[in-house]
Amino acid sequence: MTGTNGRAVVAKRVDDGHPDTEEIRDLARAAGYTVVGEVTQARTEDPALCLGEGKVAELAALVAETDATTVVFDNRLGPYQTYNLGNELPEGIEVIDRFKLILDIFGQRARTKKAQLQVELAELRYELPRAEAKASLAKRDERPGFMGLGEYDESRERDIKAQISRIDDELDRIERTEAHRREQRRESGFDLVALAGYTNAGKSTLLRRLASDLDIDENEGLHPDLDATAESENRLFTTLGTTTRRAEFDRRDVLVTDTVGFISDLPHWLVESFRSTLSEVYRADLVLLVVDASDPIEEIREKLVTCHDTLYERNEAPIVTVLNKADLVDDGELAEKRDALSALAEDPVVVSAKAGANVDDLRARIDEELPAWRRERLVVPMTEETMSLVSWVHDHAHVESVDYADDVTVEFEARPAIIEKARSKAGELPTPALE
């Protein structure tokens, strides 16, 4: 069956070694292509074509043989490399690189206003150097449309920069609103946990395991940010925006957020375009870095390094590594991987989100790593307003006992901010009139 975007041949060049095309094939399928072939090469980059001339001729023959509509490069292509390749391939064949493919996937998955703005921003940042290249070549050669790059419009570069500035401002406003919402959640007694990691590591499946409300009715008013579903399909970029669910804990109120998955070799401009979504990770109380334990050790190591580079730059919370998909790995291999990765993943939690194995151990670790609660004992006068305070404490803390006598004594555990707020509310209670 042909994908919705047509038939694609993937191409990849590496400086040396064996070109691995598994991820670019997965990305192409995620974008809706049917992958019908591949061409790879290990050599230094050809400035004009990326691949060598002979390999490009082989690519053209494969495209014709397979009736492909698109060639997807797992490399970053410059504007004139794209044009030159198009001239060497059969007429009408589209040539896109890795990052254009990723943007296409993001565009297909964007559902919320924030996600759509972030995709638009990334697309503009992708287009900007191409517009600058058109301007440079046109000025140099005094030929509009030089190298087939399109008619030069000197206002286009300015328009792109103006749009980037406008979207940056709009996303900043959204981020400020969401930061305020995060603080409101904390003030309501919620601990915030974020899931991070590569695509297909099993984050969405783990979220469903941790969640206590699997069938949430948004109209019930449980929480304005609780999403009714968290997909766990085996495909890349299932989660582009954020999905937040209430997690199942005995005494804490915990919200867990699943965010867009990382992929390898993301350029800085693309990561920066999604900083608003990543802020859910940066500003959490705890980050669970989910890793596919069935991957080879070197691949896990590379992914952990990439994740750490992205997270530790801005992250304010502790990070716990979760080795997921343990059901696919035997105990001996797991022990070997834990030992080999100890420098990057100290004391990881091993789970199988799919099978539900060791999820209770993960809950215990989350409870241990989240900000410590404090114990408090409030003694307040018995007034009509006192019951409202007691009800509020029940909603926002873990109440151990309530004693109703001449005064009301409430003993509870909670986040420091909740304790301070409870003290403030207690201080505002009216003093009973003397009889």
Q: Binding site, residues? A: 197-204, 239, 258-261, 324-327, 352-354
| SS3 state of residue 206 | helix
Tell me which residue has tokens 């981020």: 175
Binding residues for GTP, as ranges, are 197-204, 258-261, 324-327, 352-354
> What secondary structure letter does DSSP report for 229?
-
328, exposed or middle or buried, with CB in 10 Å at 0-12, 13-18, 19+?
middle
Residues 18, 29 contacting (CB under 8 angstroms): no
User: Where are the strands (E) in 168-318, listed by range?
Assistant: 190-197, 243-247, 253-258, 286-292
Sign of CA dihedral 385, 387, 391, 396: positive
The single-letter code of the amino acid at 318 is P
Distance of CA 145 to the CA centre of its chain: 38
Residue with tokens 């254009």: 100
Q: CA 416 to CA 237: how far, in whole Å?
A: 37
The annotated binding site for Mg(2+) is made up of 204, 239
368 C-beta neighbours (distance < 10 Å), count: 10
Spatial neighbors of 284 by CB under 8 A, at least 6 apart, are: 192, 193, 194, 257, 317
> Which residues contact residue 303 at a Cβ distance below 8 angstroms, ignoring those fewer than 6 apart?
197, 198, 262, 264, 291, 295
